[in-house]
Amino acid sequence: MCGIAGFYNANRDYLKDRTRYENVLEQMSAVQRHRGPDDSGIWLFEHGGLSHARLSIIDLANGSQPMKKTEAGKTFVIIYNGEIYNTEELRNDLIKKGHTFSTTCDTEVILTGYMEYGPDFVKQLNGIFAFAIQDPYRDGVCLFRDRLGVKPLFYTIQEDEIIFGSELKAILAYPGIRPVLDRDGLNQVFSIGPARTSGCGVLKGMKELLPGHLLFCSRDGFHLKSYWKLESHPHEDSYEETIEKTSFLVRDSIRRQMVSDVPICTFLSGGLDSSLVSAVCAKELKKKGKRLTTFSFDFVNNDKYFKSSSFQPAQDRPFVDQMVKFLDSDHHYLECDNVTQADRLYDSVIAHDLPAMGDIDSSLLHFCSLVKPHNKVTLTGECADEIFGGYPWFHKEECFKAHTFPWTMDLNARKAILRDDFLNHLQMDEYVKETYEKSIAETPTLAEDSPTEARRREISYLNLRWFMQTLLNRMDRTSMYSGLEARVPFADHRIIEYVWNVPWDMKTRDGVVKNLLRQSGKGLLPDEVLFRRKSPYPKTYDTNYEALLIKRVREMAAGSAPVLQFLDRKKLEQFLTSPSDYGKPWYGQLMAGPQMLAYILQINHWMEVYHISVE
């Protein structure tokens, strides 16, 4: 993967001040160098500029960007972040149409395809991507983002000028851009966070290109267009046919995403999803006489402190051991201690340019940094729960009936330490209700659905639009912070389009959660793993970690920390001295009392380092 950034204004000639704007492009690339440490490049033209930081995965020698290609005296230029998994098919089609290629990388295929078909070529791509193309015929720049939003692309429009980048820090590197939080942004942080509304960049004026959309910038203005959306259709396949098609799609996606000119690895938790990905990869590599490298993550002394709960019923390690033996993989057990996990909270903020998922985020960032010295590309089991209905809120009656986001059903924990006047300013309940209802209204409906099945669609849509996006953001930022490319085979749009329309009874046949995925994976895994009850990403249960966070929060509260303007000191002290309920998360499945403290520390660090002003 890579980092891209740039700017465009049809009414300005940047070449008149070439040195200044080339330096701006260099700086926009430099602040994203972690995303692409192998190479960098810039391209300044009359009405704009493009910059690129490259992580070399395909065609290591010839894939430098910005990449240029000329046709009939007109030069097209692309900057691209991502990976296309049907590159060979697309290249062969373009060769038949008379095009030639000087590289083997997917970047040239995208650029050539655009030259042949125009912006609609994006519909032919199977992959994860964000890219920008300078189009000389249309005299503009077109921005694209993949269907599910796996790869990020932020932008802001200041009068006639658009500034964009893979990460917010690239935009903030542009002269005159200042980070400001208004009421909407504050609600995103305190009421919705660590999730955020699709298309929202949290900071005032910042947006993120919507998944499945393109944005064309020209003299005619800025035109946003959807090129893909989820659609509801009657499911006509039998149960047996559904299993067969799901099995094909999952295995085909994993195989396609193994494409790389450098060795790949997988994250292996011992759960169903990562084990399926690892099993397919191991099988394919074995055909070539190669052995799969796998990594698992845990915390120092977690075997001593672990507490079983309805969300996390069992430890992963015994299942990891079983899978390592089953796969004969070259396995690495990685651990994180309390101080490292707490210290990495601040790195996590820099990775996101926003407060994130507390130590659920910081620990993954640390683990990714340990993987990078071994491998540049990894495949993960992310997204299967959102697609196949693995989370508890798909099944619990109270979640089914709740008129709110099922992973944040009670806002009281969020309110517990905030000032009364600040709560009155936020109006959290109304904000969350309005945001929730807007999302529900977007759900693709089907007239034939019963009320129960229609509600299943709503919950599924919320998961795809919100919870999955949060975890995709987490995976992208935590991995790219160390220049590690993390791929997500379950987020293949073909899988999502197909499984979306599969009736709930088929997804959970015989009352077994994610049974469709389990049945489609038969023959790949031992039954003990194939039918293992879900256990989410690990977290520490060491009370010494919570004590460390409490110490840091108290140190923060003793000074003039910017987050204190939102906090009630008496409420905060009461929170710090109250016993934590690890089994009652305030967000998702894992973010309980200690993660609230971690989140507050992250908000404060964000405001300090980025010099956030509040209006």
Cα torsion 277, 279, 280, 282: sign: positive
Instruction: Answer for the pair 172, 610: CB distance below 8 angstroms, yes or no.
Output: yes
The SS3 of residue 293 is: strand
* Continuous segment of H or E residues that includes residue 186: helix 183-187
* Residue 2 designated active-site: yes
3-state DSSP of 56-84: CCCCCCCCCCCEEEEECCEEEEEEEEEEE
Instruction: Give the angle subtended at the CA of 222 by the CAs of 112 and 152, to the nearest 5°.
Output: 65
Instruction: Return the residue matching tokens 């298309």.
Output: 199
Instruction: Answer for the pair 166, 209: CB distance below 8 angstroms, yes or no.
Output: no
* Structure token digits, residue 317: 């390690």
Environment class of 249 (CB within 10 Å of its CB; exposed 0-12, middle 13-18, buried 19+): buried
Instruction: Answer for the pair 464, 491: CB distance below 8 angstroms, yes or no.
Output: no
**2, 105, 368, 383: which one is catalytic?**
2
Distance of alpha carbon 173 from alpha carbon 196, whole angstroms = 23
* Structure token digits, residue 478: 């935590």
- For the stretch 360-363, contacts whose Cβ atoms lie closer than 8 Å and that sit 24 or more positions apart, written own/partner, are 360/474, 360/537, 360/539, 360/588, 360/590, 360/591, 360/595, 361/194, 361/474, 361/477, 361/478, 362/598, 363/297, 363/299, 363/336, 363/539, 363/540
- Phi-psi sector, 513: left (phi>0), alpha (psi -120 to 50), beta: beta
- Phi-psi sector, 323: left (phi>0), alpha (psi -120 to 50), beta: alpha
Environment class of 343 (CB within 10 Å of its CB; exposed 0-12, middle 13-18, buried 19+): middle
The SS3 of residue 47 is: coil
**Catalytically annotated residues:** 2
